[in-house]
Amino acid sequence: MTSHDISRRTAVTAAAATATAALLPLAAPTTAHADSVPSGAGSPATGQGTAFLHGVASGDPLPDGVLLWTRVTPSPDAVPGSGLGAAVEVGWEVAEDAAFARVTARGKVTATAAADHTVKADVRGLRPATEYFFRFSAGEAASPVGRTRTAPAHGEATAGVRFGVVSCANWESGWFSTYRHLAARRDLDAVLHLGDYIYEYKSGEYPAATYVVRPHAPQHEITTLADYRTRHGHYKTDADLQALHHAHPVIAIWDDHEFANDAWAGGAENHTPGEEGDWSARMAAAKQAYFEWMPVRPSVEGTTYRRLRFGKLADLHLLDLRSFRSQQVKPGSGKVDDPERTITGRAQLDWLKDGLAGSDTTWRFVGTSVMISPVAFGSLPAHLLEPLAKLLGLPAGGIAVNTDQWDGYTDDRRELIGHLVDRGIRNTVFLTGDIHMAWANDVPKQAATYPLSPSVATEFVVTSVTADNLDDILHVAPHTVSLAAVAALKAANRHAKWIDMDSHGYGVLDVTAERAQMDYYVLSDKRDAKATASWARSYRTLSGTQKVERVDAPVR
């Protein structure tokens, strides 16, 4: 990565604030759980001392700044979601070295129960493309030291950027070894989290209790503000997740499980209004907890759609595909083509189209939580069809599309793809999670006639960190029975160049002016806390081609 020394601003400014103001009255506290605090996570939770038990984090890097985050525990009873604990003054520092001999910026903010004792500092006045270190303090308590990095200057012709890419981390399904392996790398500018950072289910529902690796908290399905806070807090006691946030800035969007399964603007598959309250209240609670607990800077209040820039090399357009979408229709319904139905909402789709057309960078990346490439299914053996249908949200009898993806909102997709064609917009790459599989796709203008109909963009889909995929559902060894399903999918979808239905892991996206390459890494065993990671495949798209091709080795 290139780094340019520029004149330091004479005044370093920093805007520090607590997380999003309360959207709801504080929900009733849930039963407190004992946080499993990893070693080195801050002051010990013994006696009456203040402690930093949930690590530190940074996110949304800009050329001149970055968003810092932490959560302070002022007393042993002030666990996440409790609503308990006194207000605490928290100091923060940013330095050019890990020993904090060259402090660049510092400030103070107050942690209160109203924001679940989470705090954020939106620090500005930093140098572009520069590594920084940060920490927090409260009284005698000191947080761990975090490392972060600013983005290249907007006009900089940077040689390259590199991102870790992850999605779908279900606590009960396994260990977060993926995060540990990404934390160990020092060649990343940031990590993109494409959704399902947490899961909302009650314990033993997904996966079934027999296959739970470790129970989450609270044990019941989360529906209230206190519940969502507790679940977020529990996730951030994981040592590997803390290590990831300590090592890299994270750029995150949400998908459905930050709310409830198959969420849409007016409800969710996993929400029963008569038993689980009003959906708008539940969604507001989930959003409040998310913005409290995540290092995310909303550009539009209450959403995660926003745009970041990395020099003259790349724009990153991040979508919110849950807040504005129409309800999913039944698979097979002709209503998927209804122009009144939307996955983005009108304002967000116009914002995306304007951003893509107005971009002057070499690459245009779109972070989309669900797959935009069309998927049709051919004939599958019965023993594979049912679990695959469960994995993709389809009926067991088989159907042509997954209506939770862009396949269920074809008019929005048609408009977006038509925009790319009509405006001659090239080098658009969609980055996707959600379906617990890895894919490398061309995005065709018309799938039915591909490859005679051209590809207008490309898509890299990363598999899950832990959430179940095909071999997990079947409880068989990986890559033993999925080969027939992969062959059938590729035969019916010639724009899909590679599919891995069984692995868990992460991607590393390496970008230069000449190409964008996704290196896919897989874990040895998600149920092993010490799982190793190994390279599996690499695919790239060359500038100007709108096609993916296989590469024989990862970028070094």
| pLDDT of 448 | 74
Task: Determine contact, residues 246/183, Cβ cutoff 8 Å.
Answer: yes
In the chain, what is the straight-line distance between the N-terminal and C-terminal CA atoms, in Å?
13
pLDDT tens column, 321-380: 999 999 999 877 778 889 999 999 999 999 999 999 999 999 999 999 999 999 877 555
Helical H runs in 107-224? 177-183
| pLDDT of 447 | 80
The answer on pLDDT for 111 being more than 80 is: yes
Closest CA to 123 of 9, 224, 274: 9
Q: What is the three-state SS of 368-416?
A: ECCCCCCCCCCCCCHHHHHHHHHHHCCCCCCCCCCCCCHHHCHHHHHHH
The answer on pLDDT for 227 being more than 80 is: yes
Torsion (CA) 143, 149, 151, 156 in degrees, nearest 10? 150
The answer on pLDDT for 231 being more than 90 is: yes
pTM of the model: 0.89
Q: With bands split at pLDDT 50, 70 and 90, how would you rate the model's confidence at 384?
A: low
| pLDDT of 28 | 30
360 domain residue, yes or no: yes
What whole-number percentage of the chain has pLDDT above 90? Answer: 79
pLDDT tens column, 509-545: 999 999 999 999 999 999 999 999 999 999 999 999 9
| pLDDT of 152 | 98
Mean pLDDT, residues 158-174: 98
Closest CA to 76 of 34, 105, 111, 29: 34
**Please, which residues have CB within 8 angstroms of residue 463's CB and are 6 or more apart in sequence?**
168, 436, 437, 438, 469, 500, 503, 504, 505, 520, 522
CATH of the domain at 334: 3.60.21.70
Range of the domain at 203: 158-551
Closest CA to 516 of 492, 546, 474: 546
The answer on pLDDT for 222 being more than 60 is: yes
| pLDDT of 48 | 59
Residue with tokens 């062959």: 487
The answer on pLDDT for 58 being more than 50 is: yes
How distant, in Å, are the alpha carbons of 206, 210, 253, 389 from that of 469? 12, 16, 21, 11
91 domain residue, yes or no: no
Q: With bands split at pLDDT 50, 70 and 90, how would you rate the model's confidence at 478?
A: confident
- Total domains in the chain come to 1
| pLDDT of 452 | 87
| pLDDT of 93 | 98
45 domain residue, yes or no: no
User: Helices 410-422 and 346-358 sit at what angle, rounded to 10 degrees?
Assistant: 20
Closest CA to 114 of 145, 68, 83, 150: 83
Count of residues in the chain: 556
pLDDT tens column, 401-429: 689 999 999 999 999 999 999 999 999 99
Mean pLDDT, residues 290-314: 94
Closest CA to 54 of 131, 147, 119: 119
pLDDT tens column, 526-535: 999 999 999 9
Task: Determine contact, residues 454/546, Cβ cutoff 8 Å.
Answer: yes
| pLDDT of 124 | 97
Q: What is the spatial distance between Cα 420 and Cα 121, in angstroms, rounded to a whole number?
A: 37
37 domain residue, yes or no: no
Q: What is the spatial distance between Cα 254 and Cα 406, in angstroms, rounded to a whole number?
A: 16
Task: Determine contact, residues 338/295, Cβ cutoff 8 Å.
Answer: no
102 domain residue, yes or no: no
Residue with tokens 């891995």: 500
**Please, which residues have CB within 8 angstroms of residue 516's CB and are 6 or more apart in sequence?**
363, 365, 427, 429, 458, 509, 510, 540, 541
pLDDT tens column, 440-473: 999 999 887 889 889 999 999 999 999 999 999 9
- At 538 the three-state DSSP class reads strand
Q: What is the DSSP letter of 502?
A: S
- At 282 the three-state DSSP class reads helix
More confident residue, 163 or 42: 163
| pLDDT of 18 | 32
| pLDDT of 446 | 85
Q: What is the DSSP letter of 14?
A: E
Mean pLDDT, residues 15-29: 30
CB atoms within 10 A of CB 156: 19
Alpha-carbon Rg for the chain in angstroms: 22
**Please, which residues have CB within 8 angstroms of residue 334's CB and are 6 or more apart in sequence?**
none
Residue with tokens 């080098």: 427
| pLDDT of 75 | 96
305 domain residue, yes or no: yes
The answer on pLDDT for 104 being more than 50 is: yes
Q: With bands split at pLDDT 50, 70 and 90, how would you rate the model's confidence at 390?
A: low
Q: What share of the chain is helix, strand, coil (3-state, %, to 5)?
A: 20, 25, 55
pLDDT tens column, 429-449: 999 999 999 999 999 998 878
The answer on pLDDT for 143 being more than 60 is: yes
| pLDDT of 393 | 54
* Tokens coding 53: 């038990």
Closest CA to 493 of 375, 317, 328, 341: 375
- The torsion angles phi and psi of 506, rounded to 5 degrees, stand at -160, 170
Q: What is the spatial distance between Cα 28 and Cα 218, in angstroms, rounded to a whole number?
A: 13
Task: Determine contact, residues 289/228, Cβ cutoff 8 Å.
Answer: yes
Mean pLDDT, residues 66-81: 98
Mean pLDDT, residues 245-256: 98
| pLDDT of 330 | 86
Torsion (CA) 233, 238, 244, 246 in degrees, nearest 10? 70
More confident residue, 233 or 38: 233
115 domain residue, yes or no: no
Q: What is the spatial distance between Cα 314 and Cα 461, in angstroms, rounded to a whole number?
A: 19
The answer on pLDDT for 283 being more than 50 is: yes
Task: Determine contact, residues 554/162, Cβ cutoff 8 Å.
Answer: no
The answer on pLDDT for 391 being more than 90 is: no
Closest CA to 365 of 438, 445, 458, 464: 458
The answer on pLDDT for 5 being more than 50 is: no
The answer on pLDDT for 249 being more than 50 is: yes
116 domain residue, yes or no: no
